Amino acid sequence: MLAKLMGWLLLAIVRVLTGAQARWYGCPPKAEQRIYFANHQSHADLVMIWAALPEELRSITRPIAAKDYWTKTPFRQWITTAVFNAVYVDRERKDDQDPLQPLIDALRSGDSIIIFPEGTRGSGEEPQKFKSGLYQLATMFPNVVLVPAWIDNIQRVMPKGEVVPVPILCSVTFGAPIQVEPGEERRPFLDRAREAVIALRDV
């Protein structure tokens, strides 16, 4: 009950600060298993895209969260587990650990996930090159729908190094699904996925 109340409170705060506008181009909001992949400019990205989803999709969609940041305090850890049901990724993993395993486990259990293929926050107008994880997941789970998304303005709400958010109108634009084409290699696919995200910037 407490987690549900906190979820509604956080949703209200995010919508007051950002508007959390969701714009669906190329696909409707639908309760099917998906991998949403988006640009990454702020720790608030996962909160923003979570808030932009309709309630019926939030309940089946798990954002990916950096374990070292989101477990740094008991409150952060509680909110990412109890409210967001996030999947933690350990950026300080040992060499013998597969960084994708938590994502694979989530997809195998039937969840949708939200990932940021750059792997780290960018600072430019365009996303950095996508890392290989999206391609690996797409080839392992060919029936999961891949939906690109562009998060706009969130870096101005919570700039890097700041702790007090600033009210700014933000939006998340969801584009047409893509898929790995037969015989398509890793880098061409990742470049095409990145372009699908960038194309939503000016929609």
Name, in order, each residue with C-beta under 8 angstroms of 17's C-beta and a sequence gap of 6 or more: 157, 165, 166, 167, 168
Q: What is the pLDDT of residues 16-55, one digit of tens each?
A: 555 567 889 889 999 999 999 999 877 678 788 888 888 8
Provide the whole-model pTM: 0.85
Count of other CB atoms within 10 angstroms of residue 38: 27
Mean predicted confidence (pLDDT) in 130-150: 96
| Nearest-angstrom CA–CA distance, 152 and 1 | 32
Residue 193 has pLDDT above 80, yes or no: yes
| Greatest mean pLDDT among 8-12, 56-60, 112-116, 119-123 | 112-116
Q: What pLDDT shows up at residue 162?
A: 47
| The residue to which tokens 């999709």 are assigned | 57
pLDDT bucket at 94, cuts 50 / 70 / 90: low
| Nearest-angstrom CA–CA distance, 88 and 104 | 12
Burial of 186 (0-12, 13-18, 19+ CB in 10 A): middle
Residue in 39, 102, 46, 106 with CA at minimum distance from that of residue 76: 46
The conformational region for residue 153 under phi > 0 = left, psi -120 to 50 = alpha, else beta, is left
Mean predicted confidence (pLDDT) in 92-110: 85
> Which amino acid, one-letter code, is at 2?
L
